[in-house]
Structure 1
Amino acid sequence: MPYEKDVQERQYWWCPKWYWPFAVCSGIRTQHKWCYKFSWVVATGYLAVTHYEGCENGLLYTWTKPFGGIGTTYYPNAGEMCFDSSLGSNEGRCDGSPTGMEASVLSLSAPYASPIHETVTEMRPEVVESGTFDFTGNNKRLCQEGLWPWQRTLHEQSVTATVITRFGNVQWYVSGIALSSNSGTVALSAYCTWPFPLPNGRSENRVINIKYDIQTATDRSTLVLYNDPADGAYSIPIEIIATDTDTNTVYASRLASVDFCGESCDFDAAHEADLARCLKAYSNRYVEKPNLGIPSPEPQFLINDDLWKVVPTARTEIVNSLLAIMTGTFQRDPQIFTEASILLSNQINVPDIARFTSIKFKTVSDINNGPWRAGGCGCGKRLIGTIALLGIGLAVGCLVRSRARS
């Protein structure tokens, strides 16, 4: 709300002199003003007029001034601004944060909810067992052969999921279960995997208990989940439903998946390096070569970019090699494809890698629109041109030969 105050300001007026009829005088005068303390102000110039928007205490005010240029200028922390008269009634609610300032021109008072941003924090890893496994005979695996020293490590982890909001109330869900309080424990069913016993580990569907905390601020809501290492590795969906603070109507829903790794099998550094070199050499067999023929509508194995959110930096090279192997063996060698998939799951400690992959089938239109289509700039046109040149060359050769004989 505006407040009234007397403000001393410099004013200018015309005061012609006998020696200069265009003289301008100035002086400090006291004026009665209506003042506002704006969190931010946005000025948009249209050459002849400038439109202003200002946010004060969550309420939006607008006004105009003549001239002012072209374009939009932002004034964060604008502070006190005074006017000769009141700006009148407000235009509705506004967000006083920098996010609200940047969105003001497009959405003056609309509610907002960002995508869910999640991070995993390693709280306390603990090595509880060590030994050696013999990858020979039936236990031999892709690029794993002979004696491999290992460590069994338990991981206490937390996942922090945050959504940025404006004019919204957030309700969190974990595996479809609404979290009704700011902290507690939720029981749910999950598909869990463990890397031991080697080489294949074990898996089961089980009921797990996850502790949680919810922290609510004016511009965001944060959910923190805590695992029990005994539950192994698993993935669970989390979701938010956002409702407008004024109308209580739903305006947004966001969905994400989070991964916990409660137990891992860690091999020694030397064998990990050998594994990376072997997989790199193996993947080179499947580097795609240009297809000069007309392709058939075969399915393609595709990788979602979200995979890289869960890949440890130290294992990027191994994961790249495994993806190349999986892409190359998708239809050619199901056994190698399966072994590479299992190894990838172990390397990133995610039991379900299916959500990072998809299958795309080439349609007839894809083939017709490729570089091999007749009449295009690809192989078909080049082939026709080559045949035409050979025919012309043969005809010229025959003509020259017949004249030589005559």
Structure 2
Amino acid sequence: MYGLTRSLLFRLDAERAHRLGIAGLRQLGHSRDLCESLRENALEGVTPGMAVEVAGLRFAHPVALAAGLDKDAEAVDGLFACGFSAVEIGTLTPRPQPGNPTPRLFRLPEHRAVINRMGFNNHGAQEAATRLRARTWKPGPLGVNIGKNKDTPLEKAVDDYVACVDALAPLGDYVVVNASSPNTPGLRKLQEPEQLTLLLRAVQERLASVAPGKPLFLKIAPDLTPEAVDEVVDVARACGLAGLIATNTTIARPFEHPLAKEAGGLSGAPVREPANAVIRRAYLRSGGALPLIGVGGVFTAQDVYEKLRAGASVVQVYTGFIYEGPGMVGRILPALAALLARDGYTRVQDAIGAEHRAPVPPSASGVGAPKHL
């Protein structure tokens, strides 16, 4: 069914197709009964062992939606109807901004990838807050991803993030500091340890005031060196963050393509392994003590499983959803359950970070012990 829809959408300019998709999901969200019915169907493959708890939040299963698809909180209910365990909106900035000039969104179907240089286009934190206040159906955690306006000097960036916390933190279940988009000039400099520490401590302080106990995550780039990943993990732990989201889009171009020269962040299948490498490094650096949400190149249950075994507790999708469509979650969950069962796991929790643990000999572990392949 989605194959035909996708073929029609892919005939359109990528951004126009995106707007049509959001409009359809927004319209779906107006019918609570239909949303609940569709979500129930999508979650038929969920078992009790698939539930994951991260930072005190319960995820019915580990497949969630990443930020970037619904920047303005227009289609949250429609997206939950697709079966995602959590939905993350944004990136939102304090003031509305149009983003970068068009064209700024490009599909690369041969590589199952997308390049975007949207530039935090959004209608501002206050408008999103109004939409969130009107929501009554809350089937899973809602994340709020925040950033700075393009025309805000880097030395004033903290003010923008704090303003977003004021407007949005009480309305979401967790907050994400986006300091890793390649499409806002200079933003990635905020990942450097000294600036990052100042930013995170300021956000934490305001969060404790306006939304006490609300978990705070940091979204990081796949282009960090291993040593830089270590530094970010150390800062995150020192600041008491709830976890990291690894990773954002990459500025690398690991292939030849007519569109490869386009500026912006690359997402989709080519980012899978770089993202997994960052997840592995962050998991090892923290000894598994810092929760990780993995994102990058997720299309199948196998992709989800790889990120879980690498150390992610929850796995987000974005580009995969564009290519796979609204039935994606419903297809992934039974296949993920089969992968877990194949390796002797009865709970998703037991597979998290499994590739870093030594195999347990069958004679020592008893029947049904994980094989850790």
Structure-2-length-normalised TM-score: 0.23
**Which has the higher Rg, Structure 1 or Structure 2?**
1
Higher share of residues assigned strand = 1
